[in-house]
Structure 1
Amino acid sequence: MPFADLGLSDELLQAVTDAGYTEPTPIQAAAIPPVLMMRDIIGIAQTGTGKTASFVLPMIDILAHGRSRARMPRSLILEPTRELAAQVAENFEKYGKRHKLSMALLIGGVSMGDQIKALEKGVDVLIATPGRLMDLFGRGNILLTGCSLLVIDEADRMLDMGFIPDIEEICTKLPKQRQTLLFSATMPPPIKKLADKFLDNPKQIEVARPASTNTNITQWLVPVKASAFEKRDRLRQLLAQPEVTNAIIFCNRKTTVRELNKSLKSHGFKSGEIHGDMEQPQRLAELDLFKRGDVTILVASDVAARGLDIKGVSHVFNFDAPWHPDDYVHRIGRTGRAGATGTAYTFVAPDDVENIDNIEKLTGQKIPRLEAAPTPAADAAEPEQRPRRERRDRRPARAEAPAAQPVPRREEAARREEARPPRDDRRPRRDVPQDGPDEGWNGPIPDFLTVKLVIQP
């Protein structure tokens, strides 16, 4: 089915063609016509299926006629993260270039003053994260009574992040007579309850089994020890494969993201990082570098796992097995997008067995194990071990004193000093081995300590 059969305007069809698309994805083909008919929608689709365009495209045509008013947006899109909100804004700019729609982006980490100025002018489309929206609403900078279309995107992620109470409060401030679109990769009971409460006779669209993984993605489990050294070594082996053109590597902790990125750079990889401790401009700058190819490896925490539409990612690596099985689906969904194929590797340490079991139960499939890597050669040992062995091998044998012949202490001290290996003057004297009770004294032997031995014939 071509886009022309979905009921979109000619201007919008031209923008879609200019963007390089000819046929809609299954979620787009199923969702766009009922959205244009002003129906409420529940869209259940795995990540990477093009669901963002399934609501952006019809919204542009719906909002093409009408006039915005100050502080009263005509439509509202709620996103769980700043990155997702920024991505939706990019979609509106790309597809709405032939329409004169105004847009505002309300996210944390950027100037609130500029956002307030945009609201004062009036906007047709407001894209926001719940926290910043509630903040501006509490300050009296925004009114939601003129909002006729609401989109709740990544609803299951909203649940994970604790935003459901905020969303419920936001829904109560919008007109009851409105169109509501809810999209989610999974439909847990709290999301079902939210939909029952705030959607009116919705049309449910499901293009894949909930929590299923993309069949275009080849998945592997990589058994490793818990040692960070071995995991990094195994990761570098896999990254060195010629088919790895670019990759996103996911870690569970922000500290691991920073340390791994530093390690990869030291080994010559063009890597960058993105995590929650970074300011929003930094995060967007890193994403732009990755999209342009200036950086080919992006080490990320789960802040980047959901919804980011980065084309052509050949591989995903779970350096840490995800704690929550849903996160696995969203992580590996960064590859194999828009009909392309991809590969996902998940490192499995002994403590990750339960996490992997939960992932396989959720997805309903057994993930094959990758054969163990060859045992590293001796020269691949940790660098701090080799110098110690080499120093021991180079050290000359210590001269031994005759066993049966007593020697004056002054002569004994002089002999031991001559037999001692040459000392690096830069090393502290305390590093010299201590062989006897008097070895701590480095000066001449005082006369009163000299013992004269009389040997009887």
Structure 2
Amino acid sequence: MNAQFSDFLFPDALMRGLASEDYATPTPVQSQVIPLAMDGLDLLVSAATGSGKTAAFLLPMMQRFIDVPAHDSGTRALILVPTRELARQIHIHFMRLGSYTRLTSGVITGGDSKAHQIATLRKNPEILVATPGRLLELLQSGQAKLGDLEFLVLDEADRMLDMGFTDDVLAILAHCNPQRQSLLFSATLHHRGLKSITDRLLRDPQTVIVNPVREQHPHITHQLLLSDGPEHKQQQLHWLLEHETFDKALVFTNTRDGAVALGNFLMGREQRVAVLHGELDQRERNRVMGLLHSGRVSILIATDLAARGLDVPGVQRVFNFDLPRSGDDYLHRTGRTGRAGEPGVAISLVGPPEWNRMESITRYLNLSFESRVIEGLKAKFKGPSKRKGAGKPSPAARKLNAATGKKETPKVKERLRDRKNIGKRRQPTGAQGVDAGHAPLGKRRTDAPKAGI
């Protein structure tokens, strides 16, 4: 029998919040993490995006703060995240789950007014959600204090390291109450820089691995569409947006300029789109996300900053206009759909320069792709041509070839002596293998007439 949230014996105020959000059966990460966190253990958790990990760390800390009030205390829990969008998503999640409690939460991120954030800190919210850079500024100026901290969570720690926050995180740890309980969540536990943080953060941690990042999401269908170049991709994407059925869709590009150009192209074709990238200030980001949440736009074009932390209900399609740079980035992008058990489709548009990267992603994630072809917009590109002397195709290449319908050309073994004789005329040989009327190669003929005779 599956566990229920009632099995955790949460306070009534939390159970009412769970019921209002239709929470009944915990996800696997919630079932494993919540009891261990409630026992006060430090945890090292690997869970795929969309697995429900936010509630897995929010609920135990909220339960503790309700059961053991500390009215004269400073901030009791800190949740460190890599992006402003993720900070706001967690804050919204907390507000919904804690709607029947008196617990308070504050958000500290770059791009917002420092004066407003200092006012928030003076209210001593029980839970603080912050990005490292701005929080460290406030700690160093004495405006923020973490001496009463009981609970510290690092969410998407691998992303924080990739964004260069290692030194900031370590500096923040030096300001925290050393007697705290700590939880670290990461999509992968194999990140090369993770140990530098875990050694300072965790004490005798218990490791929990749920839905490893390289495990295929069971509710997402992965499709592949070959393209001839950027302009061809624009036409194909426009067709897909016109003919696919979805409430909301995310389109990912690798660069800010690419996102802006694609947004202008689609707006010129009367698509309801908005663009999100790292150069937007906080007010503009909030405006863009408000348009998407409200349904005033149905398509968000984003760079990878949106691949982490966005939790937008109703995303049924993810389009990779530009193929992501790694398999992990592919999973984080496509993980924006197929959430909470709902089906989703991820469609990647792949041009000739991206084929090798696609093969690497396929091999790394052990993915299987369905091939898509749009009549009237078929690509001339059919996959890489067979290179002379190449070995057998890799399993990933065979999968991609099968998806695109490309036939494998059997390799013909080439001998070294054949390569040496290229361009030489082959002569017929006699019974002894000697050219009729010619001496064997390397021997001088002795029956030739002498000069002058």
The one-letter code matched in structure 2 to 1:287 is M
Quote how far apart the aligned CAs of 1:68 are: 5.0
* Counterpart residue identity of residue 154, structure 1: E
Q: Distance in 2 between matches of 1:242 and 1:101?
A: 43
Given that 1:234 and 1:373 are in contact with CA atoms closer than 8 Å, whether structure 2 keeps it comes out as no
Gaps of 5+ in 1: 377-457
Please state whether the residue corresponding to 1:310 is helix, strand or coil: coil
- Superposed CA deviations along residues 233-279 of structure 1, whole A, max 9, x for unmatched, are 00011112242332100011111111111111111111111111111
**SS of corresponding position for 1:353:** helix
- Choose the corresponding residue for 2:337, options 335, 343, 347: 335
Match of 2:131 in 1: 129
Q: What displacement does 1:375 show?
A: 4.4
By how many angstroms is 1:325 displaced? 2.2
Extract structure 1 runs of 4+ deviating beyond 6 A: none
Alignment of 1:347-386 (within 5 A): 347-371=349-373, 373-375=375-377
Name structure 2 gaps, 5 residues minimum. Answer: 379-453
Report what 1:89 is aligned to: 91
- Alignment partner, residue 74 of structure 1: 76
Structure 1 distance, partners of 2:116, 2:377, is 57
Report how far residue 22 of structure 1 moved.
1.5
Q: TM-score, normalised by structure 2?
A: 0.79
* Larger deviation, residues 195-204 vs 113-122: 195-204
Q: Answer yes or no: is the 8 Å Cα contact 1:32–1:58 preserved in 2.
A: yes
Deviations 1:134-180 (A, max 9, x none): 11112111122111110000011111101122112211221221100
* Alpha-carbon shift at residue 66 of structure 1 (Å): 2.6
2:198 is the alignment partner of 1:198: no
**Other-structure match for 2:307:** 305
Q: Does the 8 Å contact 2:139/2:175 carry over to 1?
A: no
**Among candidates 235, 241, 245, match of residue 247 of structure 2:** 245
Shift in CA distance, 273/33, structure 1 to aligned 2, threshold 3 Å: same
- Give runs of aligned pairs for residues 36-115 of structure 1, distance below 5 A: 36-64=38-66, 65-67=68-70, 72-115=74-117
Q: For residues 165 and 344 of structure 1, what CA distance do their matches in structure 2 show? A: 35
Q: Displacement, 1:198?
A: 2.0
Cα deviation for residue 55 of structure 1 reads: 0.7
Partners in 2 of 1:189 and 1:8 — Cα distance?
A: 38
Instruction: Find the aligned partners of 2:244 and 2:321 in 1 and give their Cα distance.
Output: 20
1:178 aligned residue: 180
What's the % identity of the aligned pairs?
A: 37
Partner of 1:294: 296
The one-letter code matched in structure 1 to 2:151 is L
Find out whether 1:325 has 2:327 as its counterpart. Answer: yes
Counterparts in 2 of 1:133-152, with a 5 A limit? 133-152=135-154
> Match of 1:240, SS?
helix
What's the CA shift string for 1:203-260, capped at 9, x where partnerless?
221111233231210001211112x221110001111224233210001111111111
Mapping for residues 23-34 of structure 1, pairs under 5 Å = 23-34=25-36
Seen in structure 2, the aligned counterparts of structure 1 residues 100 and 369 have a Cα distance that, compared at 3 Å, is same
C-alpha deviations, 1:46-105, integer Å up to 9, x for none? 1111111111111111122333558x4211100100000011111111111222122211
Contact 1:313–1:334 under 8 Å retained in 2:
yes
| 1:255 is the counterpart of 2:222 | no
Aligned residues: 374
**Two-structure CA RMSD over aligned residues (Å):** 1.6
Kept in 2: contact 1:305–1:334 (CA 8 A): yes
SS at match of 1:142: coil
